[in-house]
Structure formats: structure tokens, C-alpha cells
Structure 1
């Protein structure tokens, strides 16, 4: 049974049982504790936490959620059942059915025949575990379902008690295992061998509230929840592994095609008798290709921190694994195309993002291949140092430095060390790696915290969602439904109080979608509250953060909520300009340039987009031109309330990481020119935006760029300032503005010529004194040694030129030349050694390091020439003497 059919059967089974099918959320959610969605229940947390009432008609739901877990990336391919990306099929009950309902539904799907819509698993091969004292679940399994007592095993909190790892809902769970047969391990059920007995489904009976604590079992259970809920998770990949009769989750119909491609590209073979390390590498390629592709699909781009770092690490593990398998050329494009082909039937959005995904992945591959080149050079330098010292083992610290600082993989270090006849201190490397992981885990734990207590808003969320009137008006009469001061509900507020105000209706826009919240005021008679921010709770409750500047306000009062018209005017100009720039960008760069975030405030916007190359001045100019042509075209701005499916059919663009409801708002500017899903406020006609001045674009991470621009009067002021600047330069250079580029180019050319001439004169002056310098050389134990400081202003290049000339003049003698030059607070220096000196044991690199100790500097190079730079010029004379003392010992 193909994986796509497994997904469809799961969903249909629970829809038939009255559950509402909920689409998978993005892998990226606004959750302070998660880099990625890592469990099927994550999008439902507000309902389990009691912050919101579930919006499902029957109080039940089902979903197949995209998940990513990367805590133990190094374990991928070693076990038979772990993927970094996986699909968690789940059914959820919010106070409807409980243990018996969850158990019955799960058992039915697993054991019903294929003809009946089930998976047709043999009931005799299914085992279950329950929590130690959960007699209720054990009795249901035995008495209602008919599972023999000997196939029901009890486990403790570490295994069969669930929580989110922080204070919140928790409860015992029951796990379902499939016996894969004696060829996979010993008998005795899951407690005896969790390889033979593969866990396929976890049923969580969410009935309690946990307190503070660390770990899976070290916390207090505070008491029962108001409602008993169900959260289950069936591993789609694990069920596919069983139904398809393959050895592990890497060989299912979704991932095996990538392994086949890897065989073609590397020449290695994925067979039972293959090297175990090669098998792991094949699985890493398959697993990480899918995870990387899905992360890019949801808007992640490679970087050195956060989500981007995880993606970069995954992609680089693919590249190095393929390389170790024997790949010589680039592989990423073929891996990505293969996994997109297998995944697209379940995720059709892959099709429209295929080119962008390839662009990001291939760009990272190119960057990493360059890193491998530089890492190889650093490795070679380290090996040369070892051999010169007659050592046979690369230190763990050096191996870790190559891995951590330069991104050079440890497995490549091991392979290359073996080729060089060296060992690697893996104990030291593992100790350094372990210390890094401990720091990372401690940092991660420090950042975790309990969910912000939003229960204070629950009454209004459930009964009085805010009516937003701001699309049509800037002023609305409203009733004060709630007042919150210092985190507590109050019945009145006075002058000076900072307060959160809940109104039944409001024209003030709450911050969302990159558009900052409106500024405004709340007025009632002599009472005035200045509103500085508006935030949404649960996407349906507007919370006005205000300060009482006059009078007082009571709960239940009737007030007038008013938007600052100047603020709104500037905000809508910037927001609508953002849509125009997005449309212009896609016209110039193509569909692979997709929005990755934005910020709009009155008169200013920034627009982030996924793109791997710097824009040329011509491209940026064309984007600005198309944007302002759209302004000049007087396009009408239309908004349409429709279904999500219809909006997609219209071609409306959606933002990555956003989870849209079934009803959405489409903003259309100029018909097909710009169509986007957007809940923000906009101008009525593009002409109202006024001029848009594109300031420039820049990189904000690997594969991510940013355009910044002014709109309206801010754009006009910017242009005026630029015009004044051009006028001033034109007047100073005595040319017309249109002749400035040519005039500046001529001046620049003359300046470069003058600088070149000065440099040549300085070099000639230096070279004229070379013969005089040699007269200063001293004899040190048979070495001809010259230590000298060149005139101030000499550069590092001058040092190399003079040192090379001096060495050539005394090449037949054992000679050492040490030169310095003063460059402000810096002291560049160089050491050159002749061949006879090298034969007597001199190494320029060693002398540079010794000299660097006295001038607070460092450097390196080859035995015949090495350079460095220091920050303590006053130590030069001591350094000169130290070099002479060292030569006396040779």
C-alpha cells in the first residue's frame, strides 16, 4: 500500500467517524518553544491549553501534520524507524470521547480489512503498552477489544506518560506496537525488544495538568483538567514500512527512489553486504533530502542560526554523505527532484515551488563545496605540522575546530587522516562535541518557558470576539467589555494607568502580516486613552494597549474608538506599496522570488524574499520602474472574501508560515497585476500610494534578500534630499547634473593613476635602499640575519617585495630576513629564509609565530616565507632579539 493511500485511508476513517479534516499547519509556527512543529498536536495547543474553544462542529478533528525533529540528527540511518521529517496522522477529541473511543477507533483502522477501508493488520501481531496504574485502559484493551493480557505491558512515566515538557496538560498514554517477527529480535513484547516490536501509534489520554520540572518524569501532577481530551499520533512512515514489507522507514516508496538516485550518482550499492557505514550514508541522503526540501518549501533558507542553521546542517550532511559514497560531481539537483516527485501527490504546492526549492538547495551545495576546498587546505596544513613534529595523531581540538569553525565534517577528516597514515583523537573530539551539545541543550532549556497565561482573555475569546470595522471606517462607537491592568481584570481605570482595553468592535488594526498596529485613541466625554499598540489574542480578540491621559473609564462604558488618520494613511500607502513591489519583483526575477516576510509602517517598508543572487542595479531600477508605473496606472484595489480553495484558483499568493482558515480575504490590485491573500488595510486606488523610492537591496542570510523603500511623502522627502545633494555636487564640480557620472569617473581615474604613481615611487624608493639594508645584516651562529623596520607607510605587499628581493640577493647563503612596517596601530611583519638556511633547520613559519608573541600578533606561511600582523609595535625590538636567540640554538 502506497504512502499516499495510507494517508487517505486514515483521513477517511476519521471523517466517517464524524471528525473534521484539518490541513497540516506549516512546519513554522509562532511558538517560543519550537523551531519547528514536532508533533501532530502542536497546532491544536490553544484548545488543549484551554485558551480557546475548538472551532470544530463535533468537537473532534483529524489531521496529517508535517513534523520535523532534529535533536538527534546523528542517529538518522542507524535505527530502523527514525526520520527527521515525518508525517504524524492524528485524531483529536476536545471533551467528547475518551479512552474507549480512542482505542476502538485506532484498533478498527489498523485491523479492518483493506476492503473495509482499514489497513488489514493481523490482530495477533499487535501489542499494546499502558501506563503503570492505568487499569482503565488495560481493561478496555482486554475486555472491549480482546487483546490478551500477556500482550498488554505496563511502563512508567519515561515511556507511557505524556506532557509537552513544560507546565500544561499531560496524561497517561497507550502505545500500539507491531511484531515484525523473530528475525528482527527476541520475543517478549516491546519491553524486551523495541526493534522487533515497532511502535506505530500513541494514544494520549490528556486528563491532568503538570507542574514545573525537568525531563519526562521529574514533575508534579497538579490535578485533573476541566475536560478530558484525546490526542493520538500514528507514524505514517512506520505504517508504510510494515504495509510495504520493507526493512526500515528509509526503504518505503517515498524515500527508496532517492537511494536509487544516490546509487547511480556514486557507484556504491545499497545491499545487505554493503559497508554498514555506507548504508547509513544512503539513508542520510534520503532522509535529509526530504526534510531539507520540506523546510525550503515552508520558507526556510540556509543560515548560521536558528531554523536556517538546521537546514544548512541537513543539506551539508547530504553532500558529504554522497561524497563519502563516491560522488565526484554536484548531486543536490537530482536528489531534490527525486524527492519532490515522490512527495508532490500529497503536497501539490511542491509543483509551483519546485524551481525555488532547487535554487536554494543547489546554491547551498555550491557554497559547501567551496568550504570543503578550504577545509581540505586547513587539514593539509595541520597534517604538515604533525609530520614535521613526527606526530601520528591529529588532536581532538583540531578535529573539532575543523568541524565546528570551518564546517569540515569529521567523517571526511577521518577518511583523509587514514589516507595520510594518521589517526584522529576521537576521544578528544567527542569530548569537545559533547561539551558543545551540553551548552546548546542548557541554552535551549533556558529559553523554554511555560505558555503565556492567556486564560484571563478566555471569557472574551469564547463569547465576544472583536468585530473589526477598520476596513470601512476610522471611527466606531464601541462598548468596553473588559479592562486589564497589571495582568488582572479591573472594573475601572484612572489617569496615569496603563491598561489593556477589550472592546466589542474597533476600527484600529491589530499588528499582523508585517503591518504594524494602528495608533489612535479611545474617547468618552472628558476621558481620553492614547492607544499605542493593538494586538490579537487567538486571531479573534483585539487587545488595545493604552494609557489613560484624561478622566477615567469604567467597565461597560460606551466609547468612541478612533484611528489616527495620518498614521493609517501612511500605513496603507506602505502596505499597498509592498504588494506592488512584490508583483514587480516577480515580473523581473520570475516566480522563484517569493515573499519571506515584510514590515510596513507609515512611509516605510521592507520586503524580504527568497532569492540566492544579489540583484543588479538594472534589476533594481526595473523593479522601481514597474512599481511606480503601477502607481501611475490608477489601479483600483479590490478586496474579496472567499474560500481558500477559490482564492488559490484565482492565483492568490499566500505567505509561508501562515495558517489560513477556510474563509480568506484576497487583495487584488489592477486585476492580475497583484493578487495576494492579505488581512491588512490598503488604499482604494494605487494612485493614493504616491511615489515609491526603492532605497536598495541587501542580503539577510543565505538565500534571502531584502528590499527597502519609502512611500508617499517620505519618498518625496527622500527624492528632495537626493536632488539637493546632486545639485550641491554639480555646483562644486561645475558640471550639469546629467554630466556628473562622467565627471566623477574621470576624477576617479585620475585619482587611481595618482595613487598608482605614488605607490610606484614609494616602491622604487624602498628598492633603492635594499643594498643599504644588507649592510645592516649581522652574523648569528653562521646565519646572515637582517632585522629591520621599513619606513612608515610601507604595506604588507611592500614587505613581501623587499623581502623577496633581499632573499634573492643572498640565496646561496644561510640567511634569514625579518622585516616590519608601521601601519597605524598595526605592525605587519614578514620572515624570509634562503634554501641553505632551511636545510639547517630554519622554518619561516616558526619564526613568525615566535616574533608574534612579542607584538601580540599571529601569522603563518611556508618554510621559505611567512607573514603576520601584530597590535603591539613597541615589542618589535624584543622580538628581533628573540629571533636571533632562537637562531643561535640551531
Structure 2
């Protein structure tokens, strides 16, 4: 349906002919009239390996600079890279393409681009082909997408298809590409609700660039169909190009693999660490790698079967035994993968991703653990950070990597230790799960394997080894890690509870919100625009609606002689909805009425203090803990606030004290809190993506709040000066999930009350102990040590009592078929005492005992020696029998089990039932 979009004059005027590929039927354009194939895999093999496409070999920095300068000289503004973690997006975690930098606000036309036209070299991370990295000679997790972008609007076009293709053609020819070797393949593009014509740029069998002409948006009533969906034309139309920096460098060197082209020194160093000879200049050795890349370029090698097919093709081409080739290639591929993955980690960790079990942190940990596993396979024992350090030294164009290395090193050391701990406990977890499937005669299914990895981080290779020990087979696809990465690459859609009168709000104008311009005013007049049940919409309001982790304002609304409490305030699409308490009264407010609103000043001020304090705590934490700190969530209430921050280890008490002290110093400086409204793009360029600490707000204009050196896009209410906050007291810190620390604190009056409560506790404790407060720590330490000694003495006495009791019980035991049956009901014994008695009884291999106590309901314990178990008696079965009789439950191992229930009146009945069960088993 996009055929008309491919009537491109540049092709007609520059010696190109349009052809159809004889192998795949794709339309392409070429200057070679004799050419029959499109130039893409699997129609064509690589022809550039050993025969570079370009006239001069280049390194990554050289090629990047050549590209950017080329477009600068042709009127494009060079802009700096964005982080590899997409801070400005809430739908994806990682920056996957250069156009992702400008989505959704610039591409939708809501915000202007940072420059127009522009050029950039954007580092990107894609993990969907994780398992192909190292094997194909071309796959990477991290790559730089060089690009030039143009954001056109109807009536204001900068340039479009012809100029885009002309620039691409000029670039390739300027580098020395043979004009006849360049093909442009027709391949319409669609994704993310947009579509457009697109051409793929091929040279020497290698795709070097994709040129997308994005001018369509998805619509149910669209008249243009692309890949099964309907679209309509947009007012804005965008040149979205992507040139692979690493592929350009590879094409310039003609090396056997992309890895040998882009980081040869690092590959060589890892080879040395693994004890592998990498004789890249040996013609026979290079031929093996070249043939591997050549065949891999036209094959899908994501599965084991496909990988072996590749091996056979390569072995046949070079006349080598498949097994010999496999032994040679397997360690080489692992080295290439380690080189790639460690570069990926260099970008991830330096840009502030903290490994965890969620979001971007999950993906970082996935790459870390896969890398550690591969290093282990090769016997490489150096710390992971040593290889990352090599990358940093190899990329001086990124000075921020060196600045952040100390944190990166700490993170990686911690992750390596966590991985070791995971492996130690992993075997037990896997084997427990495997036994369940063994009993059913099944293999451990892939779904279970993926869930175990998700929950516990146990690699499938370890799972396979552990399950084999208990006789269970494990099979997993060769693209296991890619499947895991796909599951975690995008943020799920947020569930929003629909307002039941949402359709009626569509006809109402947006509410004029007064609380920003008049933050200290608490009373106002307004006109009622509409009423639904107990919900009221006004033309203007001072009531702050819940948002940004801040609870809604409360207060009163007066209409004539009637007064109502405002109990909640929400906002939908710019319309503020006030919920009134109409319990035991009728709502006598109508459309068009004039009302007087009054905000609860104490509540508002408490929220404002806590919200402003949150900015200060966040800023102080960054200064104390490091620049990697990123807000993961926050909540502000009247009596306290909390802030969740990304951090790779527990916050120490010393660090906590430093954060608190620094925060209070900021308060005492009594600095003015700054407010500024800026267009989104201008705000990002001026302040960076730290603006989005509290989330990514919608809209063209951002409200910027400056508290000290903390600058964020924030819609909350704040104090006008930091001194108004009052004291800030950190109440506690805890790790709420791996990689996220929670700080709880109080500010202003709430902080004073919290301090007074702490002092009260100290005073009561010192009075109880009849000592001065300053002696509390030493006294508590002494009492604790004495308590531990008493506990040990108590345990010793319990053991003696249990021993004496056991002697008597065995004397009174009833012997049946060689088993000593013991039964007893005691008064006041806790479970621990019963258990100790049972453990003593188990020293006799012939015993089968049931012990009960009436303390706090019925406590039941059963113990069975080896001889009793061999005759079919199980402690777990006996406890279940007793527990059922007293209305409870329980269970355990064959030799020792515990349970109980609430019905004390049935305690004798429970004992008799268990004894009867023993007798039946022994008499059978």
C-alpha cells in the first residue's frame, strides 16, 4: 500500500535501476544493471571479509567523528548522546535506537527537537539476540546507532526522502564504497503506532543502515495498510535513520568478525586470560573465522540445531572435522561474548543502572551473571571489573566511565559475591523442584526453569547439572537468555482505575489550578461546573489533587449555609474532581452555584514540608552515596515521608547520619526554593535527565522545582524557602527489594513529635532500669550478655529435664513388635520443650513417641526411630492424626514432626488416635 512512497527521484537521476531479487522477490535499487540479488542475507554472502568495503581502516572513534563531521558540514547540529537507560521514557527501560531519544514527545509534535536537522551517535542496548552474540561474528548487545534526524511539519519541510538517500549515498562513496556494490532494499517499516516507507542499505552483503520515512500513525479508520494494520498520514513527518557504527568499522577493516574490528586489544587480553591462542593474522586461522561469519551471516543460529548446521557448513568449506571445529570455536565464541557483555556493562553501570530484580536492574544482572558463567567456563579468575577497566581505557571519549569506575567496581564485586551465593543454594532449590517432576516421570519443564531463574537467578546450565544428580533431565533452548531478556525489556501498562463519570468530564474545560501561583492562600471562590453523586468540579481550585506521591488536600466547601468536608481530590486530563463527605446529609450543590473553598492549612503545610524535604534528602543521599542514586518511588503524608532510592548495598548508620546532617544544613541555609516553567526540550538541554527523578510528567511544559542543588520536574506543593521545612529527622532505613533502599523521615512539626517520642522511649527505658540515659547502651549490652548466659543455662536445664523424663517414659513404654510406644500428655510445656524431649527419645532407634501439651491450645510432637520408620510408622502421619483431632494441622519429616490445634478438650482423644494408628501398623 506504500508503493507511491517509493517514487524517489534520486534513484531515477543517479543511474539506479529498480529490480526484483531472484531469491526473495524483494524490490531493490542498484547501479549494477547485471545484479540479480538484493544484497541481503540469505540471498548474498558477506564479500567484504578480507576485502574491506572502504578505502581506509578506521577505529570506532575515527569512524564516529568522520560520520558526525560529515553531517555537521551539511547543516546538521551535533548533539550529545543520551544515557543507555531511558530516563525520559516510562514504557521501555533501555535506549534501543536513536529515535527513542525523541519519543514520544518530539515525534508526536508535542515538544520541539533539540535541533533540526540533527546528527548523533547514540549508544543503544538490545538484548533480544543475547544468545547469538559471539556466535555469528556480527551480533552485539551494545552498539552505537549513528543517525541524522529531521522533524518536518506540513508546510515546513527541511528535507525528505530524496535528500536523505542522497546524503547516505554521498557518505558511502566518500568512504570509498564501490557505487555498484551499494543496494537499497524496499522494506516498509511499522512499530510503536507509527509507520512509513523505509529502505535498507546494503554493501558487501552487510546491512550498514536503515532509512525510515515516518509519516503515518495508526488509526482504525486509516486508508493506508502496512503489515496488516491501518494508518493515516500525520501532519509531522520524520526522517529516522540508523547507521551501525560498529558495522561501518567492520566494513572498513574486513576482519573475520566484528569483535576483532571494534575491540581487538580486549579480545586479545581475554584470550590470554583464558589461555587461548588468537592467531588472527594466521591465514588459515583467519579463514576459519571468516567462513564462520560468512555462513552465519545467512543463517539463524539462535538454536542448537542451527548452530550445528553452521558448524557442518564451515567444516565442509575448510575441510575440517566438525568436532575439531566445535572444540576450537566454542571457547572463541565465549571470549567474544565476554568482550561484548563487559562493554555492555560498562555503559549500563556507568550510566547509573543498579543491578536488581526489577526493570533495567534485572537486565543488568542478567548480563552480569551470564558473563560470570562464561568466564568460569573458560577458567578466567580475574574480577569482572578488571575487564570493564580495559573497556574504559579503550574508550577515552567517555570520561564519565572513568569518573564512575569506583562505584562500578564496587557493584561488580558485590554481584560476583551474590552470584556465588546463588550457585551454592541453587542446587538445593533445583533438586527439590526436580524430584517433584521425577516422581511424575517428567523432565523439568522450560516454564519452571524460567520461573526459577526469575525468582532465584539460577542459570539453566547450573540447573541442568543439579537436576542430573537426582536423575532428572533438563533441556533448555539455546536462546534461553534472549527469552528472559524479552520478558523484561518493556514496562507493563499501568492499570488506572476508571472514573465512572469519565465520559461526562469530556465536555468540561480544564480546571484553573491556583495552588502554584498562590501557595500560601487557603481560601477561594469558585463556580460549580458540574456535580456527579458526591463529586464536584469547579472552574478553579486551591485544592491540590493527589499526585507525585503526595496525598490530596483536605478541607471544606461551603455553598450558602451548607458546609461539606472535602475528603479527596483527584485530577483527570487536567480536570480536578473534589470528593465531598455526604454521610448523613444531602448534597445541596448544583451546577452554576458559587462556592467558597477552604484548604486545611496544617495538612497542606505538612505535605509541603515533606515534599520539599524529599528533594533535600534525595540530594543529600546523592552527595553521600554517589551520583548513581535515582529515585524509585516516594510518598508524602502528614506525619512522615519516605523515599526509595536505587543503591547497591545497605546504607550504614554513619552514612545515614551524614545524610541527615547534610539535609539539615541545607534547611538552615534557608535558601529560596526556585520554580520555573520550561518547554520540555529546553528543560532537558538545560538540566539533563535528572529532571525525571520523580517520574516522567506528560505535557509540553515542565514545572521545574529547584531545592538546593536538586532540580526536578515536579508538580507537588513546596515551601517557598528551605528554612520553613524545619528540622528533618530520619526515622529508619530498610532494603525493600534488592537494589532499592527506603528512607523514612519526618519534617517540621512531625519531626519534633518524632524526636519527642524517641526521647520519651529513652526516658522510660532509663527509668525502668534506674540509670541515667547516657548509661543505657552499656547497661543494655550487659543485660543482653547476661540474658544469653541465662538462655544457655535454661537450655542446659531443659535438656537435663528432658533426659530424666525420657528415662521414665521408656520405663513405662509399651513394646509392640520390637517398637517402644511412648505416649504422654503434659501441662504447660511449650513446643520447644516437647521437641527437646522428642530429640532425646530419638537416641533410641526403637521408639515411636507421641507427646502433647495443653499450653495455648494443643501442642503435638511425634518422634520415630529408624526401626519404627522401617516398619511403616511416620512421625508426620502421627502429627496429622493428632492435629486433626484437635481442629488444627501439622506435619514434618518421618523421624520428627510438629503440629497442634485449638481444641484442648480433645487432647486425650488425639493421643489415643495416634497410639491406635501405631498399633494398627505394627499389628498388620
Global fold match (TM > 0.5): yes
Within 5 A, what are the aligned runs for 1:316-355?
316-327=369-380, 329=381, 331-343=383-395, 345=397, 347-355=398-406
Q: Counterpart of 2:178? A: 122
| Secondary structure in 2 matching 1:17 | coil
1:201 aligns with 2:226: no
Within 5 A, what are the aligned runs for 1:434-445?
none
CA-based RMSD = 6.0
Q: Counterpart of 2:247? A: 238
Residues 415 and 226 (structure 1 numbering): CA distance in 2 closer, same or farther, change over 3 Å? same
Provide Cα deviations, 1:726-776, integer angstroms capped at 9, x if missing partner. 455555555555555556556656655555544433322211022233346
Structure 1 residue aligned with 2:191, among 157, 163, 171?
A: 163
Within 5 A, what are the aligned runs for 1:627-776?
627-632=663-668, 634=670, 667=706, 669=708, 675-678=709-712, 683=719, 685-729=721-765, 736-741=772-777, 755-775=791-811
Comparing 630-639 and 608-617, the one that deviates more: 630-639
Find the aligned partners of 1:730 and 1:81 in 2 and give their Cα distance: 70
1:285 aligns with 2:344: no
Contact 2:120 2:147 in 1 (8 A): yes
Find the aligned partners of 1:252 and 1:207 in 2 and give their Cα distance: 36
Structure 1 residue aligned with 2:645, among 585, 609, 615?
A: 609
Find the aligned partners of 1:521 and 1:251 in 2 and give their Cα distance: 71
Contact 1:573 1:603 in 2 (8 A): no
| Secondary structure in 2 matching 1:112 | helix
Within 5 A, what are the aligned runs for 1:285-684?
285-327=338-380, 329=381, 331-343=383-395, 345=397, 347-377=398-428, 395-396=444-445, 403=453, 406-414=456-464, 425-427=473-475, 470=516, 493-494=529-530, 543=574, 545-547=576-578, 569-582=605-618, 584-585=620-621, 589=625, 598-599=634-635, 604-632=640-668, 634=670, 667=706, 669=708, 675-678=709-712, 683=719
| Secondary structure in 2 matching 1:302 | coil
Residues 727 and 664 (structure 1 numbering): CA distance in 2 closer, same or farther, change over 3 Å? closer
Name the structure, 1 or 2, with higher relative contact order (CA <8 Å, separation 6+). Answer: 2
Provide Cα deviations, 1:337-379, integer angstroms capped at 9, x if missing partner. 233333452x433233222222222212211111111224556
Find the aligned partners of 2:391 and 2:375 in 1 and give their Cα distance: 15
| Secondary structure in 1 matching 2:642 | strand
1:221 aligns with 2:230: yes
Find the aligned partners of 1:173 and 1:242 in 2 and give their Cα distance: 22
Find the aligned partners of 2:273 and 2:409 in 1 and give their Cα distance: 18
| Secondary structure in 1 matching 2:98 | coil
Q: Counterpart of 1:111? A: 173
Find the aligned partners of 2:489 and 2:220 in 1 and give their Cα distance: 17
Task: State the Cα distance separating 1:175 from its structure 2 match.
Answer: 0.9
Residues 600 and 402 (structure 1 numbering): CA distance in 2 closer, same or farther, change over 3 Å? closer
Task: State the Cα distance separating 1:695 from its structure 2 match.
Answer: 0.6
Find the aligned partners of 1:232 and 1:435 in 2 and give their Cα distance: 26
Residues 447 and 761 (structure 1 numbering): CA distance in 2 closer, same or farther, change over 3 Å? same
| Secondary structure in 2 matching 1:200 | strand
Residues 471 and 677 (structure 1 numbering): CA distance in 2 closer, same or farther, change over 3 Å? farther
| Secondary structure in 1 matching 2:103 | helix
Contact 1:470 1:509 in 2 (8 A): no
Contact 2:554 2:600 in 1 (8 A): yes
Q: Counterpart of 1:41? A: 99
| Secondary structure in 2 matching 1:10 | helix
| Secondary structure in 2 matching 1:284 | helix
| Secondary structure in 2 matching 1:721 | helix
Contact 1:652 1:666 in 2 (8 A): no
Provide Cα deviations, 1:780-825, integer angstroms capped at 9, x if missing partner. 76x5455656857767876775566545556xxxx46566677967
Q: Counterpart of 1:90? A: 147
| Secondary structure in 1 matching 2:800 | helix
Provide Cα deviations, 1:491-524, integer angstroms capped at 9, x if missing partner. x934569799999xx9999999877898999999
Task: State the Cα distance separating 1:635 from its structure 2 match.
Answer: 5.8
Q: TM (normalized to structure 2)?
A: 0.67
| Secondary structure in 1 matching 2:122 | strand
Provide Cα deviations, 1:425-452, integer angstroms capped at 9, x if missing partner. 245x569989997996999888799xxx
Task: State the Cα distance separating 1:548 from its structure 2 match.
Answer: 10
Find the aligned partners of 2:577 and 2:751 in 1 and give their Cα distance: 30
Within 5 A, what are the aligned runs for 1:186-197?
197=205
Find the aligned partners of 2:826 and 2:209 in 1 and give their Cα distance: 77
